[in-house]
């Protein structure tokens, strides 16, 4: 395959066109080809890419062009490049955390309020809880109870305890079986975790934090009971109240309501 860069400018006039059309750079074409192979599973996670010399010959590009393509893919966390003996490029699976970080930057740049992000959970998670109460089976209940019954470390910090509770939220979405919701909510949870970290670290030792932990523990246990009892309406209502209470707690902090992904 050749991706030789067009001679001349990066733009060309096409007959009858009102404006010039940008031609992709060779590095972009190489990155696109490798990205497509990774996403389609043609290159497996952990697999080493061919040597630079082999890829240069395959794509008919120079070493600087190939390395520019590598930098693009590294910035997307799709490959990991190690220099020196035994080094080279290895494939990494697409990671939703990359999308979450970028989404967080966009939201913060737009001046998005933390409440805006948390309200997404309040729309989606109660519906997931109701769905599990109506359609979930014994296997789902077992997994939910196992998540609640993970042995707690008595020496764990309040932040570690709340993080353990937060892992319960993506599990609710996972058990619905909806892949799109899982990706969306993993992005949301990544952003919410940043807010949790900032809020809790400023609140260590306060009665508010102890109350939040106790209420969170009780809500998680109760919602599983309601799901198992197939009481979709009460389970949905309880979970919405729990999420609203969590939002109120996070927003009480230092009065800052604008999303801050840098903590």
Tell me: do 122 and 158 sit in the same domain. Answer: yes
In a domain, 206, yes or no: yes
Tell me: do 151 and 166 sit in the same domain. Answer: yes
In a domain, 138, yes or no: yes
In a domain, 155, yes or no: yes
pLDDT digit string (tens) for 26-70?
A: 999 999 999 999 999 999 999 999 999 999 999 999 999 999 999
Out of 34, 68, 91, pick the residue that ends a domain.
91
Q: For the chain, which ranges sit under pLDDT 50?
A: 4-12, 255
Residue 107 near residue 259, CB atoms below 8 Å? yes
Tell me: do 126 and 71 sit in the same domain. Answer: no
For residue 42, the SS3 value is coil
Res 208: pLDDT:
75
Tell me the CA distances in angstroms from 191 to 117, 217, 246, 247, one per residue in order: 8, 21, 14, 13
Residue 218 near residue 206, CB atoms below 8 Å? no
Out of 59, 76, 91, pick the residue that ends a domain.
91
Tell me: do 174 and 116 sit in the same domain. Answer: yes
For residue 249, the SS3 value is helix
Q: Domain containing 74 — which CATH number?
A: 1.10.10.10
Q: Domain containing 103 — which CATH number?
A: 1.20.120.530
Per-residue tokens: 242 = 């729990």
Res 95: pLDDT:
85
Out of 91, 114, 141, pick the residue that ends a domain.
91
Q: Which residue range is the domain that position 44 belongs to?
A: 11-91
Res 66: pLDDT:
96
User: Got the DSSP string for 193-218?
Assistant: HHHHHHHHHTTTT-HHHHHHHHHHHH
């Amino acid at each position: 395959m050749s991706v030789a860069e067009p001679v001349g400018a990066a733009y060309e006039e096409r007959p009858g066109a009102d404006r010039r059309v940008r031609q992709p750079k060779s590095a972009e074409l190489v990155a696109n080809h490798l990205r497509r192979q990774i996403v389609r599973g043609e290159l497996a996670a952990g697999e080493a890419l061919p040597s630079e010399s082999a890829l240069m010959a395959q794509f008919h590009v120079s070493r600087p062009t190939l390395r520019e393509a590598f930098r693009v893919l590294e910035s997307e966390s799709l490959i990991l490049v190690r220099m020196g003996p035994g080094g080279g490029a290895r494939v990494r699976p697409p990671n939703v955390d990359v999308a979450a970080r970028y989404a967080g930057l966009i939201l913060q740049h737009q001046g998005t309020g933390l409440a805006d992000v948390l309200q997404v959970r309040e729309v989606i998670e109660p519906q997931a809880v109701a769905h599990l109460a109506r359609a979930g089976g014994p296997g789902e209940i077992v997994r939910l109870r196992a998540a609640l019954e993970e042995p707690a470390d008595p020496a764990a910090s309040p932040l570690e305890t709340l993080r353990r509770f937060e892992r319960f939220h993506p599990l609710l979405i996972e058990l619905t079986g909806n892949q799109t919701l899982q990706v969306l909510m993993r992005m949301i949870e990544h952003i919410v975790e940043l807010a949790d970290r900032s809020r809790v670290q400023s609140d260590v030792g306060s009665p508010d934090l102890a109350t939040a932990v106790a209420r969170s523990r009780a809500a998680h246990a109760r919602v599983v009971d309601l799901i198992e009892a197939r009481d979709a309406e009460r389970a949905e209502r309880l979970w919405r109240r729990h999420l609203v209470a969590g939002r109120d707690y996070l927003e009480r902090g230092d009065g800052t309501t604008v999303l801050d992904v840098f903590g």
